[in-house]
Amino acid sequence: MTDTAVRPAAAERARPAHPLDPATAAEFLAGRDILAAAGLLGETARFAYYGLEEPPKHEVLGPAPGGPPERRLRAFLIDVATGESADVVVSLDQRRVVSRRVLDPASDGQVPIFNEEFGVVEEVVRADPGWREAMARRGLTDVTKIRACPQAAGWFGEAADGRRRFVRVLAFRQERENDYIWAHPVDGIAAYVDLIERKVFKIVDEFERPVPEEPGDYDDPAVRGPVREGLRPIEITQPEGPSFTLDGHLLRWQGWSMRVGFDAREGLVLHQIGLEDAGRARPVIYRASVPELVVPYGDPGFRYWQTYFDCGEYLLGKWTNSLQRGCDCLGEIAYLDGTLTDDAGTPQVIRNAICIHEEDFGILWKHTDVFNGSAQTRRQRRLVVSSWATAGNYDYGFYWYFYLDGTIEHEVKMSGALFTAAHPGGDSPHAAEVAPGLAGPVHQHLFGARLDMTVDGMANAVEEVDLTGLPAGPGNPYGNAITQTATRLRTEAGAARRCDSSRARTWRVLSTERRNSYGRPVSYTLYPEAAPVLLADPSSPVHARAGFATSHLWVTRYDPAQRYPAGDFVNQHPGGAGLPAYVAGDRDIDGADIVLWHTFGPTHFPRPEDWPVMPVARCGFTLRPTGFFDRNPALGVPAPPGHQAGGHRPAG
């Protein structure tokens, strides 16, 4: 995951240039010193999370009578001897702890699972006599050839276990070093491991099925088959260099500007996205990220609990990949490193964590006019800011695209391995057979994006826009009428909305202060993909914990404490936190400083073609300017080289 430890001698300048710049190695060390001086870092203390506590928006945007906003760091500390966990904020400027709250496991849940815990689980289960016996019954006597796969426990109301910090551990066979474990699940058995006591406290042994034998190691030519021929090189060259500039974390391209950030929990974060239009700086989004991802599985059998909150339980940003030029990114690339820390709070750098480049994107606009003879073509291109993170078996790429016509797009690319089960043979309503005796269970990937909107300023409102056909009648005698209906979403409770593809439903974020030359509010429109929301039954525990995923849209009034769709503490949380709690006050959102939250992502019934490694599947959403400009903002894009000046006159 991380490749370089940062030594204090190499520390960056103490105070970053901008209040939204990510925490630096020097800052993490300074914060650790403050925590140590306060007596909070005993030998058994670990950092389950450590990152920048961003200043509130008004401190960043408003006048600063007292100088720049304070630099603060937030740490989730856990004592591995007692399990006591605390949410602590330190001020680097005041050099003191400014808040500390001890968590109550029964109501607050647990801090995220951290690296050391992933490491100890395998030792613990291999040493457990009950687990060894269960494996021996399956003919598996060499436990060094069984790999333990720890899973977030979730919360299912088990009163006795509710206060334990634990994981549920599944097993896979790995005969040889390079065996692909996902091909060989040892199914029907799970060990429940107490992470504080470091022991197995329960074994669930429900059934025995043969361990699937067919190997899945695609690095092995015998498994992969012959390498394809005939693919000649494609080279992307930009002989004059890229068209963007990167100054620290400030990125500029074709009128767009934004600040690129990084966090151990959220990964890639973009701030202060805006456009320069005729010399005027026009903000669009103050902060954009995907701070949660829940992956609930749909098999009601003994793995009913399989549900991952990849950000809240595992800190997805920590698992960010170091990207490689020529493999992950083509063309003229600028990389940004990501700085985070290990369990001891020691800074680590992920080299090339964020990739920034431009891509040709086909045709931007084109017209051959049969009346005036003009024939013009312009090419689209986009600025791409991306990163990849590996969440156990899955790999997720987060791509933000900015286009020449003012469009913003977010795309998640999903690849990696299916989380597999042994297949009893025959059809299963909840899984697809992907190799002999091996199944990929159905599941959902539900991403929660947080878009702190500032469309031409802080005073925004949201309209739900439906397109419908009208019944024939007076005013519509031939029944061809289609109309657009815009419904204002006035308060938070009423703004929990779902997609309706039969009405081409979109959500328009408009300024209540600025209008275009037609007298209409300037706006940006969210175009969703309209895939299903959470399919789990409303009575299910996951429904309570992943409440955010029960609506495609939420709108909240900006509150700096409301950052995570499923709440601050997700691991073993009983539910109700995050968006359902955020909107409980039903605040007014019309003409306010608002945050848009969008749930998106596929419901994945696996295919044999997803095995042994999935071709990338995509999901996401688009934001398009809607009356934000008075006309096509891309008329000034020059014709491509070789395009005849004045256009081609069509023949005839």
Provide the binding-site residues for Ni ion, judged by CB under 5 A.
Answer: 604
What is the Cα–Cα distance from 77 to 86, expressed in whole angstroms? 5
Q: Closest approach of Cβ 269 to Ni ion, in Å?
A: 24
Buried b (16+ CB within 10 A) or exposed e, 447-462: bbbbbbbbbbebbbbb
Residue number, 74 or 604, with CB nearest to Ni ion:
604
What is the Cα–Cα distance from 163 to 538, expressed in whole angstroms? 25
Longest Cα–Cα distance in the chain: 86
The neighbour count for residue 81, using CB atoms within 10 Å, is: 11
Residue number, 387 or 420, with CB nearest to Ni ion:
420
Residue number, 359 or 411, with CB nearest to Ni ion:
411
Residue number, 275 or 391, with CB nearest to Ni ion:
391
Q: What is the number of alpha carbons within 13 Å of residue 105 lying toward its C-beta? A: 21
What is the Cα–Cα distance from 50 to 72, expressed in whole angstroms? 11
Which candidate in 187, 310, 342, 568 is catalytic? 310
By beta carbon distance, the residue nearest Ni ion is 604
Residue number, 419 or 507, with CB nearest to Ni ion:
419
Alpha carbon 144 to chain centroid distance? 34
Residue number, 401 or 611, with CB nearest to Ni ion:
611
Q: Closest approach of Cβ 280 to Ni ion, in Å?
A: 44
- Helices 129-137 and 115-127 meet at what angle, rounded to 10? 70
User: Where do we find the tokens 């000034």?
Assistant: 636
Number of helical H runs and strand E runs in the chain: 8, 33
Residue number, 97 or 295, with CB nearest to Ni ion:
295
Q: Closest approach of Cβ 415 to Ni ion, in Å?
A: 10
Q: Closest approach of Cβ 542 to Ni ion, in Å?
A: 16
Sign of the alpha-carbon torsion through 559, 531, 441, 419 = negative
Residue number, 505 or 604, with CB nearest to Ni ion:
604
Query: Reduced to 3 states, what is the DSSP secondary structure of residue 338?
Result: strand
Concerning whether 297 is annotated as a catalytic residue, the answer is no
Closest CA to 17 of 229, 249, 240: 249
What is the Cα–Cα distance from 403 to 359, expressed in whole angstroms? 10
Residue number, 508 or 604, with CB nearest to Ni ion:
604
Q: Closest approach of Cβ 604 to Ni ion, in Å?
A: 3
N- to C-terminal Cα separation, the chain:
62
Q: Closest approach of Cβ 445 to Ni ion, in Å?
A: 6
Concerning whether 394 is annotated as a catalytic residue, the answer is yes
Q: Closest approach of Cβ 570 to Ni ion, in Å?
A: 20
39: left (phi over 0), alpha (psi -120 to 50) or beta: left
Which candidate in 49, 394, 399, 401 is catalytic? 394
Q: Closest approach of Cβ 167 to Ni ion, in Å?
A: 21
- Rounded to the nearest 10 degrees, how much is the dihedral formed by the CA atoms of 103, 104, 108, 111? 50
Closest CA to 151 of 263, 381, 354, 313: 313
What is the Cα–Cα distance from 394 to 414, expressed in whole angstroms? 7
- Rounded to the nearest 10 degrees, how much is the dihedral formed by the CA atoms of 619, 625, 631, 636? -60
567: left (phi over 0), alpha (psi -120 to 50) or beta: left
User: With contact defined as beta carbons under 8 Å apart, do 425 and 568 qualify?
Assistant: no
Q: Closest approach of Cβ 617 to Ni ion, in Å?
A: 7
Residues serving a catalytic function are 310, 394
